[in-house]
Amino acid sequence: MRYPKRLTRVLRAGMVLIALTLIDASAAGEKVDGVAAPIYGIKIPEGYRDWRVISAGNVGAPVNDVRVKLGNDIAIKAFRDDKLPFPDGTIIARLAYKQITSQENNKALGRVPSFVAGPATNLEFMIKDSKKYAASGGWGFGQFTNGKPDSETVHKACFGCHALASRDFVFTHYSP
């Protein structure tokens, strides 16, 4: 059976769309529902999972996570140039994962315990826009779980905590 030309075109366009969606999902890491986080109106920035590393770390009990900080090009340049304050357009991403033990690693390492990243917990972004976010030191904050923004209560806590950081509201230092 042959489809009419118009239908074939629609089907083909649909398949391209599906393919693009799959490519995007595999590149982006987190599923994104496109809803903006409360207070600051931040959405998950496209392609953040492909950004370069600023540094990594982990938080102990009761959080017990493994975390990686990524930066867009403006962020990476600012960190490498030791430029403060961070320029407008800087975006810092904090990816976090449940810290788990790797039996496979431990088998190889003997009595040295090894901890690796398990399932993703949540995802945070801070975006510098000195005009838009003048009331919060020039930074907007967003936290997402399973691709969906977290509550307003969560977002109310961001700035108070980051105000304790000595380098333009940023805790993370660049690792060589």
Binding site for a second copy (CB under 8 A): 26-27, 29-30, 49-53, 55-63, 66-68, 70, 80-81, 95, 97, 99, 102, 104-105, 107-109, 112-117, 120, 161-162, 164-166, 171-173, 175-176
Rounded distance between C-alpha atoms, residue 95 and residue 89, angstroms: 19
The smaller minimum CB distance to a second copy, of residues 73 and 152, is found at 73
DSSP assignment, residue 163? T
For the CB of residue 100, give the shortest distance to a second copy in the complex, in Å. 9
The smaller minimum CB distance to a second copy, of residues 45 and 171, is found at 171
The smaller minimum CB distance to a second copy, of residues 74 and 132, is found at 74
For the CB of residue 148, give the shortest distance to a second copy in the complex, in Å. 15
Which residue is it, tokens 């509201």?
169
